[in-house]
């Protein structure tokens, strides 16, 4: 019987969670993945929001994780507004489609609301995130840092009216910039996995 509980991540969980994230993302969006490395770096930057770092456990075993980092929306006049950026989120492949991702989303959104954050911005699959209330960022006149809008770029207002009067470009933390050489070195700490081109990478 699976028995899922959600709790904050602890330092001693980091390695297990990075391994899980690597398993969940491997070859999914590109050959290999870099999300486990982003996660590894994220815990060291000031943008990381420790209170919103959750793991899902099946009894003692960690089977899912969600993290958030501080990001900003900058208006044309140069005003900056703090928002959250969600991700990576990962559920162990064997535990996917059991509602665990949804539990991590709901719990973390409730906590983010309680902490007073105004909104969350993500890049992800609209089919999955609209069910949590995420809307196309263009509904809020929020664009990417390069001035673009597309369906995968979404915003969730977590305080009522939290984005009223706020529009502009979205900037995520530099932790999402991955140096290919550093990633390669980091990869050496994990058991070898073959990088493949797969159908899911076309989506
Ligand atoms: C995305 C992820 C965290 C969802 O976790 P989960 O525990 O499987 O999700 P839940 O069981 O709560 O929800 C499953 C639902 O989400 C849908 N879903 C899951 N991943 C999806 C995706 N990438 N795109 C669209 N829908 C998705 C399923 O179709 C299912 O819908 P249904 O209930 O209508 O059948 C998990 O699939 C995962 O780790 N994926 C690999 C890593 C990843 O893509 N992370 C997100 C990057 S933006």
Half-sphere exposure of 33 (CA within 13 A, CB side): 25
pLDDT for position 1: 78
- Residue 74 CA to ligand 1 centre (angstroms): 30
Q: Is 124 in the pocket of ligand 1 (CB under 6 A)?
A: yes
Helix (H) and strand (E) counts for the chain?
A: 5, 9
Domain presence at residue 157: yes
Give the predicted TM-score (pTM) of the model.
0.95
Contact 21, 71 (CB under 8 A): no
Domain presence at residue 127: yes
The CATH number that applies at residue 103 is 3.40.630.30
Q: Is 6 in the pocket of ligand 1 (CB under 6 A)?
A: no
- Residue 193 CA to ligand 1 centre (angstroms): 23
Q: Give the per-residue SS3 of 38-57.
A: HHHHHCCCCCECHHHCEEEE
Domain presence at residue 61: yes
Domain that holds residue 165: 4-175
Other residues' Cβ atoms within 10 Å of the Cβ of residue 37: 22
Domain presence at residue 169: yes
Domain presence at residue 199: no
- Best residue among 30, 54, 85, 96 to mutate for probing ligand 1's pocket (most ligand atoms within 8 Å of CB) is 96
- The angle at the Cα of 171, spanning 144 to 30, to the nearest 5 degrees, equals 70
- Residue 102 CA to ligand 1 centre (angstroms): 8
- Hey, what are 90's tokens? 């990962």
Q: Mind listing the pLDDT tens digit for each residue in 122-156? A: 999 999 999 999 999 999 999 999 999 999 999 99
Total count of domains within the chain: 1
Between the alpha carbon of residue 23 and those of residues 92, 159, 179, the distances in Å are: 7, 34, 20
Q: Mind listing the pLDDT tens digit for each residue in 21-71? A: 999 999 999 999 999 999 999 999 999 999 999 999 999 999 999 999 999
Q: Is 27 in the pocket of ligand 1 (CB under 6 A)?
A: no
Domain presence at residue 115: yes
Report the SS3 class of residue 169: strand
How much is the mean pLDDT over the chain?
96
Residue 194 has φ and ψ, to the nearest 5°, of -80, 135
- Hey, what are 141's tokens? 């006149």
Q: Is 94 in the pocket of ligand 1 (CB under 6 A)?
A: no
1 vs 158, which has greater pLDDT? 158
pLDDT for position 178: 97
- Residue 14 CA to ligand 1 centre (angstroms): 22
Domain presence at residue 48: yes
Domain presence at residue 203: no
Cis? peptide before 162, omega within 30° of 0: no
């Amino acid at each position: 019987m699976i028995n899922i509980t959600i709790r904050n991540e602890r330092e001693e969980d980091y390695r297990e969670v990075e391994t899980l994230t690597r398993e969940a993302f491997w070859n999914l969006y590109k050959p290999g993945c870099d999300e486990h490395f982003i996660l590894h770096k994220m815990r060291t930057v000031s943008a990381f929001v420790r209170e919103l770092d959750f793991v899902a456990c099946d009894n003692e075993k960690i089977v899912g994780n969600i993290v958030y980092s501080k990001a900003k929306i900058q208006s044309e006049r140069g005003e900056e507004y703090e928002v959250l950026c969600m991700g990576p989120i990962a559920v162990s492949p064997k535990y996917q489609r059991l509602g665990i991702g949804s539990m991590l989303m709901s719990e973390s959104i409730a906590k983010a609301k309680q902490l007073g954050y105004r909104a969350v911005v993500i890049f992800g699959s609209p089919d999955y995130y609209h069910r949590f209330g995420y809307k196309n960022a263009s509904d809020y006149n929020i664009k990417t840092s390069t001035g673009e809008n597309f369906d995968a770029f979404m915003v969730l207002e977590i305080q009522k009216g939290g984005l009223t009067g706020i529009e502009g470009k979205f900037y995520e933390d530099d932790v999402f910039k991955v140096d290919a050489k550093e990633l390669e070195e980091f990869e050496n700490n994990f058991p070898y996995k073959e990088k493949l081109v797969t159908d899911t990478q076309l989506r």
